[in-house]
């Protein structure tokens, strides 16, 4: 329950919102009941649907936050949420986030769902409007923004290489369906480059191969777990660019540092760049995707991603951290030292 208090601060009136704890779960129980009730409606008007979905989602996030502040465990919250989760599961997209049918979170088919933004739920039902909200939300948009930035990083690495030098080499870790390369493949058809795509999912690599026919002669596909695959891709380097979009959202610190260190010591050429993304700590959708779906990410601050890079041996000045347009995801660049 939000309590607004008005007070004086530096001579101006300001509004401070305090989130109260909900020890008995009354707010959570109320919004779950509304989701179930409205989920039973056969048709919600187009003029009402978006507002109903937004209201329910935001109430749900606030109610979960209140229960966590009251010390509720994840298991206790999930038990209260089960009726609402069942309604959400009528959305094919949210159902994927609950079940992860490919056996791992963030799979390439789910990413494709986000990128295409095609609502596959039954029109008019609450699940349709919840799916539309999910696909249009900032947490989905940051995926699309990251793909744009990854495509730009690849293109910059290819175009910046002097023609007098060996052809530029790109390594994409956890490449998935390669939406970044697909976005720019018509431009790359006339360029000199080699790209190695590493992914543990054979179907993801097959999906990439089927859709990258214009540049297939430039590509090498390696099916392997990312950590174990670092040795497999090393003979194809050194690389001007090592790219990891979204991978670090799932890596514990020690594994993230290991990958960064191996890249710095064995994969990057002199002056080469490692670019990765990581969901930031200020993610207002965190409770929603973790509790209504089962999409749990490792959130990090700017200081934390910088710490990963410097622990791996990159110098502080060689590390840059920005964010994509929604501000939800950090874009991290690490530049290897120039050899004499």
User: Which pairing describes strands 12-19 and 2-9: parallel, antiparallel, or unpaired?
Assistant: antiparallel
State pLDDT tens for residues 27-76.
999 999 999 999 999 999 999 999 999 999 999 999 999 999 999 999 99
Domain of 279, in residue numbers? 140-335
Is the residue at 98 inside a domain? Answer: yes
- pLDDT exceeds 50 at position 10: no
- Judged on CB neighbours under 10 Å (0-12, 13-18, 19+), 164 is exposed
pLDDT at 166: 82
State pLDDT tens for residues 103-114.
999 999 999 999
- pLDDT exceeds 90 at position 295: yes
Overall domain count for the chain: 2
pLDDT at 320: 98
pLDDT at 338: 81
- CATH label of the domain that carries residue 154: 3.40.50.150
Distance CA(269)–CA(246), nearest Å, equals 23
Is the residue at 36 inside a domain? Answer: yes
Largest CA distance in the chain: 70
State pLDDT tens for residues 121-165.
999 999 999 999 999 999 999 999 999 999 999 999 999 876 656
Q: Do 206 and 302 belong to one domain?
A: yes
Give the end of a domain, one of 105, 136, 167: 136
Q: Do 216 and 320 belong to one domain?
A: yes
**DSSP state letter for 200:** S
Is the residue at 119 inside a domain? Answer: yes
Give the end of a domain, one of 136, 169, 203: 136
- pLDDT exceeds 80 at position 14: no
What residues contact residue 142 under an 8 Å CB cut-off, 6+ apart?
Answer: 279, 324, 326, 328, 329
Q: Do 198 and 56 belong to one domain?
A: no
Is the residue at 238 inside a domain? Answer: yes
State pLDDT tens for residues 165-224.
689 999 999 999 999 999 999 999 999 999 999 999 999 999 999 999 999 999 999 999
Distance CA(268)–CA(62), nearest Å, equals 45
Is the residue at 70 inside a domain? Answer: yes
pLDDT at 235: 96
- pLDDT exceeds 90 at position 231: yes
State pLDDT tens for residues 72-95.
999 999 999 999 999 999 999 999
Is the residue at 340 inside a domain? Answer: no
Q: Do 185 and 287 belong to one domain?
A: yes
Is the residue at 283 inside a domain? Answer: yes
Distance CA(162)–CA(180), nearest Å, equals 23
Residue 5 dihedral angles phi and psi, to the nearest 5° = -125, 140
Is the residue at 237 inside a domain? Answer: yes
pLDDT at 65: 96
Give the end of a domain, one of 121, 136, 151: 136
Q: Do 151 and 118 belong to one domain?
A: no
Q: Is the CA virtual torsion 237, 241, 172, 266 positive or negative?
A: positive
Q: Do 183 and 86 belong to one domain?
A: no
Distance CA(305)–CA(298), nearest Å, equals 11
Average pLDDT (3-29) is 56
């Amino acid at each position: 329950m939000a309590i607004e208090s008005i007070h004086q601060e530096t001579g101006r009136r300001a509004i401070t919102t305090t989130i109260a704890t909900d020890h008995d779960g009354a707010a959570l129980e109320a919004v779950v009941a509304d989701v179930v009730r409205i989920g039973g409606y056969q048709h919600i008007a187009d003029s009402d649907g978006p507002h109903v979905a937004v209201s329910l989602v935001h109430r749900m996030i606030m109610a979960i936050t209140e229960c966590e502040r009251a010390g509720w465990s994840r298991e206790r919250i999930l038990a209260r949420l089960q009726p609402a989760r069942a309604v959400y599961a009528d959305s094919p997209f949210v159902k994927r986030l609950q079940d992860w049918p490919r056996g791992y979170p963030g799979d390439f088919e789910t990413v494709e769902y986000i990128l295409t933004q095609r609502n596959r739920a039954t029109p008019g039902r609450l699940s349709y409007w919840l799916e539309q909200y999910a696909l249009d939300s900032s947490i989905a948009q940051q995926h699309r923004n990251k793909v744009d930035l990854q495509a730009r990083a690849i293109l910059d690495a290819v175009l910046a290489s002097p023609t007098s030098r060996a052809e530029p080499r790109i390594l994409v870790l956890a490449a998935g369906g390669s939406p970044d390369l697909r976005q720019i493949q018509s431009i790359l058809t006339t360029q000199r480059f080699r790209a190695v795509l590493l992914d543990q999912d054979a179907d993801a690599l097959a999906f990439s191969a089927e859709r990258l026919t214009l540049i297939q002669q430039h590509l090498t596909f390696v099916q392997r777990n990312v950590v174990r695959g670092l040795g497999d891709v090393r003979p194809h380097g050194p690389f001007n660019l090592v790219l990891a979009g979204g991978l670090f959202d799932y890596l514990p610190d020690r594994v993230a540092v290991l990958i960064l260190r191996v890249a710095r010591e064995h994969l990057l050429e002199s002056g080469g760049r490692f670019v990765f993304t990581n969901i930031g700590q200020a993610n207002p959708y965190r409770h929603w995707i973790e509790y209504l779906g089962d999409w749990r990410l490792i959130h990090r601050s700017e200081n934390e991603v910088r710490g990963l890079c410097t622990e791996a041996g990159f110098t502080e000045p060689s590390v840059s951290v920005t964010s994509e347009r929604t501000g939800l995801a950090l874009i991290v660049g690490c530049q290897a030292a120039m050899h004499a």
